[in-house]
Amino acid sequence: MPSGTKHINQSIKTDGRYPNTAPDFAGAIEVDNEGNVNGVDVTMSVLNFTETHTLAGSRVSTSYKKTLAALTGTVNSNSFRGFSRGEVLFLGASGTKRSKKASAPWEIIYRFAVSPNQSGFKVGDIQVSRKYGWDYLWVRYADKVAEGGKNVVKKPVGVYIEMVYPEGDFGNLGIGN
């Protein structure tokens, strides 16, 4: 996901269908002759950013390093840097100690990615109330007889929003909200 692409099987809307007698797949993309919905890879809305902070050597303990490791791959459980819950993914941190002295400060780079939350949208004819930014949306399709009874098409019959990243308290990063 940090690359900024994702695979989708369902369009926001179908802008055209030619001829107008062509089967209506209700936004399913690349439906083959066997009825498989193959979809397409698209660029997704992702903002990647880093922050560099200098921390006192005493703050960067083994316990703090374990906290960074535990938070890597989590999404924000509360608002963070002006973004709502579920929009920010912590990609990890890397750091350098400025000298060999135990008290020497550390320079740590924190990496984040942002995917906006969505609310009040449709998938085919199904209304979806909300999707947190880093949740995974997938669609269940079923065969339906198309208008005029000439074709069997795939139509969305279920939309599923899956939490695939655990939530984390980014306040534990110790760099503010």
Residue-wise pLDDT for 119-163, tens only, equals 999 888 899 999 999 998 888 888 888 777 777 788 888 888 989
Q: How high is the pLDDT of residue 79? A: 97
Q: How high is the pLDDT of residue 4? A: 67
User: Is a pLDDT exceeding 70 seen at residue 100?
Assistant: yes
CB 68 within 8 A of CB 57: no
Q: What are the angstrom distances between the C-alpha of 54 and each of 38, 109, 146, 165, 173?
A: 47, 9, 62, 28, 13
Q: How high is the pLDDT of residue 140? A: 85
Q: What are the angstrom distances between the C-alpha of 141 and each of 12, 16, 29, 125, 171?
A: 16, 21, 12, 12, 41
Q: How high is the pLDDT of residue 31? A: 85
Share the mean pLDDT of the chain. Answer: 88
Q: How high is the pLDDT of residue 3? A: 52
- Per-residue pLDDT tens over the stretch 161-175: 989 999 999 999 999
Confidence of residue 45 (pLDDT cuts 50, 70, 90): low
pTM of the model: 0.80
When pLDDT is averaged across residues 87-109 and rounded to a whole number, the result is: 93
Q: How high is the pLDDT of residue 2? A: 44
Q: Tally Cβ neighbours within 10 Å of residue 113.
A: 20
Domain-by-domain residue ranges, the chain? 5-43+121-162, 47-114
Distance CA(175)–CA(137), nearest Å, equals 31
Any residues with CB less than 8 A from the CB of 16 and at least 6 apart, and which? none
